Structure 1
Amino acid sequence: MKLFGYFRSSTSYRLRIALNLKGLEYENIPVDLRTSEQKGEAFTARNPFGSVPMLEADGRDRAQSMALLEWLEEAYPDPPLLPAGSEDRYTVRELAHAIATEIHAINNLPVLRYLADPLGHAQDDIAIWYRHWLSRTLGPVEQRLAQLHTGDFLFDRPGLFEVVLLPQIYNARKFDYDLSDKPHTTRIEAACLALPEFERAFPDNQTDSPDYIQPAGE
């Protein structure tokens, strides 16, 4: 497998976590979003969406992170990203899709760039926009977690919800979003970040990150 992505892309981050949780080996191939490499002819010839992540697997180039996560779960069911029962699966999907559709879709890089140019909004205004949409969905997510009385993870181990949550919390911290009133969310975040699968997927630990430090002996 080859994962084409960008260290700070939240959707690429999702796929790195999921692949690590599945125990699947993959080659990480950086695509520079700062120079719009993903919009170049060579890339769009393979992925017409002109977006990351793109996963080259089983002779096919696959795009769109949520569809990719579903494919991984079907093609490589063990260990699972979804719990066994239909009600628990619904709970996971309810929370994961709320974050993916109500936060990420409206706060992703193309939207933020469009707000700046051509619409002409200042960076401070864009940050207000970003935090508004975080609050609109992270608040209800926290309330749902409180209703469920979760432990370190939504269920007994990290899965689809944590895969989608962690990149968004990383972004929230970048925009100085106050998480002090979200103890369930931050507890799950801390438990995930303590695991090697999440540590390896962390943006700063990717070779295309300016903060990357090559491990000793490599």
Structure 2
Amino acid sequence: MARTALLSDYWRSSASYRVRIALNLLDIPTTLRPVNLLTGDHRSDLYLAQNPQGLLPTLEIDGKVLTQSLAIIEYLHAATPGSSLLPGDIDGQYRVRQLSYAIAMEIHPVCNLSVAQHVLDLTGGGNDTRAEWMRHFIQKGLAAFEDLLRSTDGPFCFGAQPTMADCCLIPQLYNADRWGADVSGFARIREAARAAEGLKAFQDAHPDAVGAPPG
């Protein structure tokens, strides 16, 4: 039987976007099951039974239910022969994890929409405050990421083929564009982005290709 996957997904979720890219890079046929964050689908009893955190994404594959995007990507790498999402050597694996975590664990959490909304609730701010919050942390985080990338060979984040680090970078750049963060001065990031965005695996995972859920 062919290996297939079912991804509970929200089109603009950075974490979901990462996993969509990884699944595409590994040529794993995937059905997307939209979970609309705006209507609270992620808080339903049905979804919480699968993912008690109520977060996205959730991946069903190989008879398993998997959560947490980077853990999912590492599982897919380990379970898929020929995967290059992580390098084969320990130093390379460290480097790709370092880059991936710099985005997924440093930039993403503070820019999560629920975090930004809580800031607005506490301060009484509006949409301008939200946008400024996002721009501040995205630009600061990507500036540090640019410094990390300068010591790695390209054209991708780490070498001549995309890895988990690229799966993290491209969704973060989508968010940077969405919130008006200026990344024009980050030459090494732009190089990696050009390399990734030229691949169908990244193009097909883009939120515009997936489309917003109904309602």
Does structure 1 residue 157 correspond to structure 2 residue 161? yes
TM-score (norm 2): 0.92
Q: Aligned ranges for residues 1-218 of structure 1 at < 5 Å?
A: 1-117=5-121, 119-208=123-212
Alpha-carbon separation, structure 1, partners of 2:185 and 2:47? 42
Cα deviation for residue 17 of structure 1 reads 0.1
Cα deviation for residue 149 of structure 1 reads 4.3
SS at match of 2:159: coil
Amino acid at match of 1:194: G
1:104-154, Cα deviation, whole Å (9 max, x unpaired): 011112112222335422221122211221132211211122233432442
SS at match of 1:28: strand
Alpha-carbon separation, structure 2, partners of 1:21 and 1:63? 19
Amino acid at match of 1:206: V
Q: CA RMSD in A?
A: 1.6
Cα deviation for residue 12 of structure 1 reads 0.5
Q: Which runs of 5+ in 1 are unaligned?
A: 211-218
Alpha-carbon separation, structure 2, partners of 1:18 and 1:192? 12
Query: Once structures 1 and 2 are overlaid, which stretch shifts more, 179-188 or 74-83?
Result: 74-83
Alpha-carbon separation, structure 2, partners of 1:184 and 1:94? 16
Structure 2 CA distance for partners of 1:209 and 1:39, relative to 1, 3 Å: closer
Cα deviation for residue 202 of structure 1 reads 0.5
**Does the CA contact (< 8 Å) of 2:51 and 2:67 recur in 1?**
yes
**Does the CA contact (< 8 Å) of 1:102 and 1:133 recur in 2?**
no
TM-score (norm 1): 0.90
Alpha-carbon separation, structure 2, partners of 1:151 and 1:60? 34
Percent identity over paired residues: 36
1:138-181, Cα deviation, whole Å (9 max, x unpaired): 11211122233432442110011000110000000101111111
Aligned residues: 210
Alpha-carbon separation, structure 2, partners of 1:207 and 1:175? 19
Structure 2 CA distance for partners of 1:149 and 1:157, relative to 1, 3 Å: closer
